[in-house]
Amino acid sequence: MKSNYLFISFLAVLFFSCSKSEDATPTGKYSSGVFISNEGQFQTGTGTVSFFNRESKTVENDIFQTVNNRPLGNILQSIEIHNNKAYLVVNNAKKVEVVQAWDFKEVGTIQGLEMPRYFLGIDDKKGYISQWGVGGIDGSVKVIDLQTNTVTKTIQVGKGAEKMLKVDNKVFVSCNGGFSNENRVFVIDLQKDEVSATISTPDNPNSLALDVNNSVWVTCNGRSQWNGTASVTVSPAQLIRINPTTNQIEQNFTFEKHGLGSLVTNKSKNTLFYSYSGRVFSQNINSGISTNPLIIKSFYGLGYDAATDMLYGAIAGNFSTNSKFIRFNISGAAIDSMNVGVAPNGFYFK
Amino acid sequence: MMLRFVCLCFAWLNTAACVLAQDSLKTKTLAGVVVQANRLAYFSSGNKIQKADSTTFSHFKTNNLADFLTNYSQVFIKSYGVGSLATPSLRGTGASHTAVLWNGFNLQSSMNGTVDLALLPAFLLDNVDIQHGGASALFGSGAVGGAIHLNSSANFGEKLSISAQIGAGSFANFQQGIKLKVSKKNFVTGVRFFNHAAENDFTFINTAKFGKPIEKQSNSAFKQYGFLQENYLKINEKQQIDLQIWYLNADRQVPPTLTTASSKASQQDESVRITTNWRYQRNKASYFARSAFFKEKLIYQEPDIQLFALSKAVTWIGEIESKIAISKNQLLNIGLNHTYFRAETDGYRIGKLQNRTSLFLSYKMNNAKDTWNTVVSLRKELIDNYFAPFTPSLGFEGILYKNWTLKGNIAKTYRVPTFNDLYWQAGGNPNLTPESGWSSEISVEYSPLPLLPKRVRKYRSNIELTLFNSLIDNWIAWLPNQQGKWEANNVLKVWSRGLELTANYSIDFQKVKLKSSISYNYVISTNEKVGKGDENSLHQQLIYVPKQTIQANISLIFNSLQLNYHQIFTGERFTTADSSQKLPFFSVGNLSIQQKIKSLSFQLQINNIWNKSYQQIAFRPMPMRNFMIVINYEF
Instruction: Look up the ipTM and state it.
Output: 0.81
Give A-chain residues touching B581 at CB under 8 angstroms: 45
The reply to whether A298 touches chain B by the CB within 8 Å rule is: yes
Q: What is the pLDDT at residue B145? A: 95
Residue B559 sits in a domain of what CATH number? 2.40.170.20
Residue B208: which residues within 8 A CB-CB, separation 6 or more?
A46, A70, A71, A72, A73, B258, B259, B619
Interface of B with A in 230-269 (CB under 8 A): 257-262
Nearest to A321 among B212, B536, B619 (CB): B536
CA distance B200 to B123: 20
CA distance A183 to A92: 25
**Inter-chain CB proximity B259 and A135 less than 8 Å:** no
Specify the pairing of strand B98-102 against strand B146-151: parallel
The reply to whether A76 touches chain B by the CB within 8 Å rule is: no
**Inter-chain CB proximity B210 and A106 less than 8 Å:** yes
Q: What is the pLDDT at residue B8? A: 31
Domain region containing B104: 2-634
Extract the residue ranges of chain B whose pLDDT is less than 70: 1-37, 483-484
Tell me the three state secondary structure of residue A258: coil
Give the side-chain half-sphere CA count within 13 A for B257. Answer: 22
Tell me the three state secondary structure of residue A26: coil
The reply to whether B576 touches chain A by the CB within 8 Å rule is: yes
Which of A119, A156, A127, A151 lies closest to A140 in space, CA to CA? A156
CA distance B204 to B220: 13
Give B-chain residues touching A45 at CB under 8 angstroms: 259, 575, 581, 618-619
Q: How many domains does chain B have?
A: 1
Give B-chain residues touching A317 at CB under 8 angstroms: 480, 533-534
CA distance B57 to B592: 12
Interface of B with A in 355-414 (CB under 8 A): none
What are the 10-residue block averages of pLDDT along chain A, 350 residues in total? 45 44 75 96 87 96 96 95 97 95 96 96 97 93 97 97 96 95 96 97 97 96 83 94 96 95 96 95 94 93 96 91 95 96 95
Q: What is the pLDDT at residue B449? A: 81
Tell me the three state secondary structure of residue B300: strand
The residue of chain A with its CA nearest to that of B576 is A321
Residue B385: which residues within 8 A CB-CB, separation 6 or more?
none
- The structure's pTM equals 0.87
CA distance B551 to B528: 29
Backbone angles phi, psi at B142, to 5 degrees: 100, -20
Residue A114: which residues within 8 A CB-CB, separation 6 or more?
A94, A131, A132, A133, A134, A138, B304
Strand order in the sheet with A116-121: A116-121, A126-131, A140-145, A150-156
Q: What is the pLDDT at residue A8? A: 47
Kindly state the DSSP code that residue A150 receives in the 8-state scheme: E
Q: What is the pLDDT at residue B154? A: 79
Residue B281: which residues within 8 A CB-CB, separation 6 or more?
B7, B10, B11, B238, B239, B287
Give A-chain residues touching B427 at CB under 8 angstroms: none
B378-424 per-position pLDDT tens digit: 999 999 999 999 999 999 999 998 899 999 999 999 999 999 999 99
Nearest CA-CA distance, residue A94 and chain B, Å = 6
Give the angle subtended at the CA of A36 by the CAs of A33 and A42, to the nearest 5°.
165
User: Distances from the Cα of B220 to the Cαs of B81, B242, B302, in angstroms?
Assistant: 9, 38, 14
